[in-house]
Amino acid sequence: MIQVPCVYRFHHSGGHSSFSSVAQGFRPVGKALDRVHPLDWDPTDDSTRNPMRMPSTFRASLAKLLLAVAAGIALCSCSAVKLAYNNLPEVGYWWLDGYVDFTGAQTPQVRDQLAQLLERHRRNELPKVLVLLDRAERLAPGDIAASQVCEFSDAIRDRLLAAALEASQSGAELAATLGDGQLRYLERKYAKVNADYAEDWLDRSVDQQHRKRYDAFLDRSEDFYGTLDAGQRALLRDLVDRSIFDPRRIDAERRERQREALALLRRLGDGRTEVREGRAAIDAYARRVAQPPAGPWRDYQQALLAESCGNIAALHKATRPDQRERAARRLAAYAQDVRDLIARPSTPRPVTSPDPNAAVR
């Protein structure tokens, strides 16, 4: 169905997303959070590959969790959507802690801010997510143009940018309290993230990269449409083989963002920057990552996004009526989950320790 970038999860996959993401997202919540890189909006970043996806790279700030919250509704499996969403603040705390190792004094502040962010997201953003899901369900039975897919992508990006900006006040307050030891901890985490990315992508041959992306796309597409036939699989493989996806280019850009984020955090924690100024700096960073300035990176990002929209439309066009009906049912089920979350928020279940499978990659 309309494979729009759900969590804007275009990470290493090169931007192939889908409402199958909305549908398929919510696998283990910890794993889903692993894939979200707060303030790191990289439509080329295959770490977030769903219609409502979007990385945010400022991993050290609270904005990062808000992104997880924003993406959360697109990151869970059907029966787990509501449970996962309501527990995002607790799971998100452990996720963030894995990046900066919170102190005892920071912990209660972070937990409280995450809970407040989730409730504001529930009130302000879930109704807008619901509009997108309802529209996707209506479009599922017919063909969809690449331009329509990109419209969804833009709408999702705008919603995620709004969520990140909502979190910037909390992010600035937290950033002001981060010590040198915590920033060194963050540097080590970045190094691990980069090493994992290299193992996953840079150390593979081109053929192996294509196979990895094909397997991931096939898994997401079949989770949404059901089993693809031989012709549909051949189309998917051809789209992957012809992609402009370049993991080395993405790796270089990600490392530059990491350096920029660390420099910003050091400046915000120097004791001379007011929270108001810190929030403005975080907002500017978020906007810059979401909408890069003119230049080679933005040109590549836009080309990859356009390719993704075209691929999604092409695969949907190749689906049978029964596959589209299945997609529409999945979208309707997720829309109902969102309605339930808006109308009847449930009490989150405490998470006392991090999920060992939720190590951020």
How is 91-156 classified by DSSP, letter by letter?
A: HHHHHHHHHH---TTHHHHHHHHHHHHHHHHHHHTHHHHHHHHHHHHHHTTS---HHHHHHHHHHH
- Can you give the pLDDT at residue 259? 96
Residues 119-129 have a mean pLDDT of 92
- Can you give the pLDDT at residue 16? 39
Confidence check: pLDDT of 281 > 80: yes
Residues 4-8 have a mean pLDDT of 33
- Can you give the pLDDT at residue 163? 87
CB 7 within 8 A of CB 71: yes
DSSP state of 85: H
Confidence check: pLDDT of 279 > 80: yes
Question: Percent of the chain, pLDDT > 90?
Answer: 62
- Can you give the pLDDT at residue 345? 63
Per the prediction, the chain carries an average pLDDT of: 79
Q: Which residue has the tokens 């990470």?
A: 11
Confidence check: pLDDT of 220 > 50: yes
pLDDT tens for 257-275 read 999 999 999 999 998 999 9
pLDDT tens for 182-206 read 999 999 999 999 999 999 999 999 9
Residues 7-12 have a mean pLDDT of 33
